[in-house]
Amino acid sequence: MTALEPSSVVALVALGTALGLDAVTVGQTMVSRPLVGATLAGLACGAVAPAAVAGVLLEAVALETLPVGASRYPDWAPAGVAAGAIAAVASPAMPALALALLAGIAVAWASGRSMVVLRHANGRRIAAARAALDAGVPGTPASLVHRGIAGDALRAMGMALLAVATVPLATWIAPRWRLDPFSTGAVAAVAALLVTASSTRQMFHGASGARSLFAASLLVGIVLVALRHG
């Protein structure tokens, strides 16, 4: 079991805060996606490669999430931080990967709920400023946007702390894992990829021929794997 260095904790919280802002409020450049977040978290913990594996699988899970306006969805920004940090720090590798995915999904769910709370808080601020908005008082929309961003930064920091808090728990559980690494890796892969497979339905919606292309590509992919490793 390896503990997180204090410098890594600071870097992870800063990273989680920045990525949390990107998810909705500032930019939406999608650096908040788990593929990126987990890899950067691995960088912060000094082990990029295992963190990237967790990022790949968590991205496979996140594929189904459409961040559409008023819908309520998991927030994958702190999830990537949690998964990347766990995969980088905990050992053995395969139990760490499975725990990274589980912790990532749990943190994504919690963070999604925190977004709902933030949006209600924004609504209360806007209601309080309604008279000024209706009168066109200069600076009112700017003030609301700035305060909304500050509120989201606080929310994101809280979720980043939650993400970091999952790391000691996972590093404690991983050495007590009694299943063999191949079974563990296989089941973790099934858990992640079944979500990708399920999300193809919405991806292919309205795209004629997509299902046939998917099936043909799947066969080509299987042949490629067999040729490379068989």
Partner 1 sequence: MWRRTFVVQGAWSYDVMIGPGLAYAIEPALRLLPGGPGGDAYRAALARQSQYFNCHPYFSAMAVGALARLALDQAPSAMITRFRGALCGPLGSVGDRLVWAAWLPACALLGLLFWGLGAGATGAVLAFVLSYNMGHVALRAWGLSEGWRRGQQVASALAAPWLRDGPAVIGRVAAVLAGLALPLVTGRLLSGDWVLAGAVLVAAVPAGYVISRLGGRVPGWAAAAGVLSLLSLVALLA
Category of 46 on φ-ψ map: left (φ > 0), alpha (ψ -120 to 50) or beta: left
Nearer to partner 1, 6 or 212 (CB): 212
- Which residues 6+ apart lie within 8 Å of 222 measured at CB? none
Task: Tell me if 113 contacts partner 1 by CB under 8 A.
Answer: no
Place of tokens 């990347």: 84
d(CA 21, CA 77): 9
Nearer to partner 1, 6 or 176 (CB): 176
64: Cα within 13 Å, side-chain hemisphere: 16
- The correct pick among 91, 109, 110, 154 for binding partner 1 (CB under 8 A) is 109
Footprint of partner 1 on 115-134 (CB under 8 A) = 119-120, 122-123, 125-127, 133-134
Stretch that binds partner 1, among 2-10, 11-19, 161-169, 191-199 (CB under 8 A): 191-199
Task: Tell me if 176 contacts partner 1 by CB under 8 A.
Answer: yes
Consecutive H or E run containing 66: none
Stretch that binds partner 1, among 8-16, 49-57, 160-168 (CB under 8 A): 49-57
Question: DSSP code of 4?
Answer: P
Token pair of 142 as six digits: 């700017």
Task: Tell me if 95 contacts partner 1 by CB under 8 A.
Answer: yes
Question: DSSP code of 122?
Answer: H
- The correct pick among 19, 33, 77, 85 for binding partner 1 (CB under 8 A) is 33
Task: Tell me if 85 contacts partner 1 by CB under 8 A.
Answer: no
Task: Tell me if 217 contacts partner 1 by CB under 8 A.
Answer: yes
Task: Tell me if 155 contacts partner 1 by CB under 8 A.
Answer: no
Minimal distance, residue 207 CB to partner 1, in Å: 3
d(CA 96, CA 89): 8
